[in-house]
Amino acid sequence: MPKTAPLFQAESLKLKQAPMLPADSEDSALSLRLKQYLKSQDIDQIWEGYRYAYQAHDGVVRKTGEPYIIHPVSVACVLADLHMDVPTILAALLHDVVEDTLITTGDIKEKFGEQVAELVDGVTKLDKIEFQSESQAQAENFRKMLLAMSQDVRVILVKLADRLHNMQTLEAMKPEKQKLIAKETLEIYAPIANRLGLNAIYQTLEDLSFQYLYPMRFNAISKAIMAARGNRKEVVSKILESIKQQLASMSIDAEVSGREKHLYSIYRKMTSKATPFSQVYDIYGFRVVVKDLPSCYYALGALHALYKPISTKFKDYIAVPKANGYQSLHTTLLGPFGTPIEVQIRSSAMHNIADAGVAAHWLYKSSDAQLTALQQQTHQWLQRLLEIQSESTDSLDFLEHFKIDLFPDEVYVFTPKGKILALPKGATAVDFAYAVHSGIGNACVAVRINQELAPLRTELHNGDHVEIITGALAKPNPAWLNYVITGRARAHIRHFLKSQQSTESGHLGERMLNQALRALHVEPNSIEDVHWQKLIRDYGLKTKEEILSDIGLGKRQNVMVAHQLLAMTDDHVEKHTKLAKSLDTITIRGTEGMAVQFAKCCRPIPGDPILGFINKDKGLVIHTHDCPSVRKFKLDPDKWLDVEWEPESERLFKTNLNLTVANQPGMLAKIASGIAEAGSNIDNVSVEESDGSAYANIYFTVQVRNRIHLADLMRSLRKIPDVVRINRAKISVTGSTAKPTNQ
């Protein structure tokens, strides 16, 4: 397999050839780089980190056979080429010590400060995440998750430099491992480098991945480029000289250079457009770097005067920059002998951004004014990628406040099988359950987040591993609608609740209709299907269940439906037109679900005299006889039904209690303990704001089985010292607490 000579590889080889040369020596590769832009005291701090890492990895060798310390030093060299700050270089040197040695993040924080410790911790967390899916969409989600997890962009830069050196030494791995790492690099890390504008690293990662994934294709294109290089050498030299002379004649100060497309971009163009190598015209191109933005357009005019432009091959990335901040003019010209040539024209500032992306800020050192201007430009260029959190006047501190915020409205979490799901920011475990499958959402009862049990309303964060626990008899809780944020979850919960209400209302409606029929001395089973089918057609409905549900919800009167059914039979008896007074009493079990609701204004419990009111939206609503709301609905007696409690009901029912107690510490705890000892549950509690008096009012909603249970509870609470008064509360029609009635 032929070896490329990508960016930074020569420096890595230099380190491998002289492994005994300490990185902190005057002539080492890292030392030479650091001296270009750092002060001596900063370099001394870096050497301290180097020696710390050297001791931590002492005796460890890589698969290549070289001392392990060569790897972090090589990573630091890559970042030093980008003129990164001291914390980033230190993080590069220390990025593997937490994962591979007994040293902890706390140790690094104590030795080198919180900023370096956070960077090392961020890189360590990214190292633990493995990309497992073959899906292209999953690759994009994985990239987004990595970027979203790295709140400081320096974490990603260290990770990219780490991956670059690993790719440069990949020959030591087994072939299957080479392909796996190369595929991950091509799908995940190269696109991230491109998105961040790290052009040189991006192209190198792509070429190295191409080399290991498709070695035969890599070899074929490499040989073709070598052959073309010889054939075109004279033409390229002639064009280069012509461009220089043309720009000089128009007094445009510019640096002109020829460039060669990297291998993988040629291969990608050949495959995407089904183009043979001989027709890939922009294998060789030219770059013109001028001093400022106006000169870009002057140079463009000069070149169009020299060679005829191909009108369909012009792109203005200065007026409309790429998402990663890249700016340049691209034009394709018809050169000598009709050969198309591509020319890129950009200013020196644009050139630095194009080559180094977000790291280009370290190249500007001359004054704070220039840096501030660059910050303003960066905010415009990278507005969809990066967010400047605060202004800074020190270039070495610039990236400390330069946070990555690529996808602020999404979080990326793992399923138990390693699949990544993208959810809106603020999504809860219930949203996740419905994103997996509606059946999982409907049946969820609990959740494990990162192997720990958590409430279903827990908000999810990037990188969380989420496992939903389901129950065979579980069903959606209406309370979920208070905290789910995805439309999918909300729609499924509402659909289920509506279907459940329809089913429960159907059962109640059937009971009400059967009682109406028996009051007419007709057995419900005597109503034949043909009669039901005719009634369904008359109502314009589709099923019998819809009629029964309408009865249960109060949308149809059971008396009227009974009459209409009997009118279709041969034994219809006219004398039963006055039916309402002869209906049997409906028995309330307390297990009817949403078809029967207990009014919150009076909170009826078994033992209370009750009435049933048919509400067209809520179905059958149960009130106590003395409920203040009853007076409001007395005007519509046709909607009232006689109801009674089923004996021996074991369900718990809610009721309200008002307590007046001495305003002393610990009273609430004493009362709560007393309620628990009486076998009751607290559903809600509120305390009236203190007005400075010696007494306070506490309002409880408790769960009891019946009036006897409630009486026992109240007797128990009266025995607590400093409980002055206790009453069962009723709520007025307006919603305020009515004058309580003594139990």
The CA distance from 326 to 378, in Å, is 11
Last residue of a domain, one of 213, 245, 265: 213
576/664 same-domain check: no
Comparison of pLDDT for 514 and 195, the residue scoring more:
514
Asked, for residue 348, whether it belongs to a domain, the answer is yes
| Sequence-distant (≥ 6) Cβ neighbours of residue 366 within 8 angstroms | none
646 is catalytic: no
Nearest to 620 by CA among 557, 678, 561: 557
Q: Kindly tell me if the per-residue pLDDT of 149 is higher than 80.
A: no
Q: Kindly tell me if the per-residue pLDDT of 363 is higher than 50.
A: no
Q: What is the pLDDT of residues 307-336, one digit of tens each?
A: 999 887 888 988 877 756 678 999 988 877
429/532 same-domain check: no
CA 109 from centre of chain? 29
182/271 same-domain check: no
Asked, for residue 736, whether it belongs to a domain, the answer is no
Q: What is the pLDDT of residues 39-95, one digit of tens each?
A: 999 999 999 999 999 999 988 998 888 899 999 999 999 999 888 889 999 999 999
Q: What is the pLDDT of residues 34-44, one digit of tens each?
A: 998 899 999 99
114/29 same-domain check: yes
Asked, for residue 482, whether it belongs to a domain, the answer is no
Q: Kindly tell me if the per-residue pLDDT of 740 is higher than 50.
A: no
207 is catalytic: no
What percent of the chain clears pLDDT 90, i.e. is strictly above it? 24
Q: Kindly tell me if the per-residue pLDDT of 2 is higher than 70.
A: no
Q: What is the pLDDT of residues 210-268, one digit of tens each?
A: 999 999 988 888 888 777 665 566 677 888 889 999 999 999 999 998 766 778 888 88
Q: Kindly tell me if the per-residue pLDDT of 571 is higher than 60.
A: no
Q: What is the predicted pLDDT for the residue at 389?
A: 27
Q: What is the predicted pLDDT for the residue at 26?
A: 63
Q: Kindly tell me if the per-residue pLDDT of 575 is higher than 50.
A: no
63/178 same-domain check: yes
Helix H or strand E encompassing 306? helix 293-306
Mean pLDDT of 608-613: 84
Q: What is the pLDDT of residues 16-28, one digit of tens each?
A: 333 334 666 666 8
Structure tokens of 399?
């990236």
| Sequence-distant (≥ 6) Cβ neighbours of residue 437 within 8 angstroms | none
Could you tell me if 656 and 731 are in contact, meaning their C-beta atoms sit under 8 angstroms apart?
yes
Helix H or strand E encompassing 136? helix 136-149
347/462 same-domain check: no
Asked, for residue 570, whether it belongs to a domain, the answer is yes
Q: What is the pLDDT of residues 520-548, one digit of tens each?
A: 778 888 888 888 888 887 777 788 888 78
Range of the domain at 564: 494-645
When pLDDT is cut at 50, 70 and 90, the band that residue 270 belongs to is: confident
Asked, for residue 3, whether it belongs to a domain, the answer is no
Neighbours of 298 (CB within 10 A): 17
Asked, for residue 94, whether it belongs to a domain, the answer is yes
Burial class (CB in 10 A: 0-12, 13-18, 19+), 130: exposed
Asked, for residue 733, whether it belongs to a domain, the answer is no
Cα dihedral across residues 445, 451, 454, 458: positive or negative:
negative
User: What's the number of domains the chain is made of?
Assistant: 6
531/632 same-domain check: yes
Could you tell me if 620 and 599 are in contact, meaning their C-beta atoms sit under 8 angstroms apart?
no
336/279 same-domain check: yes
Asked, for residue 202, whether it belongs to a domain, the answer is yes
Instruction: With H, G, I as helix, E, B as strand and everything else as coil, classify residue 37.
Output: coil
201/324 same-domain check: no
Burial class (CB in 10 A: 0-12, 13-18, 19+), 324: buried
Structure tokens of 90?
């230190």
Q: What is the predicted pLDDT for the residue at 131?
A: 62
181/275 same-domain check: no
Comparison of pLDDT for 424 and 615, the residue scoring more:
424
Last residue of a domain, one of 213, 241, 266: 213
Q: Kindly tell me if the per-residue pLDDT of 388 is higher than 70.
A: no
Nearest to 494 by CA among 452, 542, 434: 434
Domain at 247, CATH number: 3.30.460.10
Domain at 95, CATH number: 1.10.3210.10
The CA distance from 447 to 63, in Å, is 41
Structure tokens of 710?
């409630």
84/115 same-domain check: yes
Q: What is the predicted pLDDT for the residue at 182?
A: 93
Q: What is the predicted pLDDT for the residue at 323?
A: 57
AA identity, residue 365: K
Of the residues 42, 48, 66, 100, only one is catalytic, namely: 100
The CA distance from 296 to 254, in Å, is 10
48/185 same-domain check: yes
Structure tokens of 697?
């009012």
Q: What is the pLDDT of residues 643-687, one digit of tens each?
A: 888 777 777 888 999 999 888 888 888 898 899 888 898 888 888
Of the residues 99, 642, 677, 688, only one is catalytic, namely: 99
Domain at 696, CATH number: 3.30.70.260
Q: Kindly tell me if the per-residue pLDDT of 367 is higher than 60.
A: no
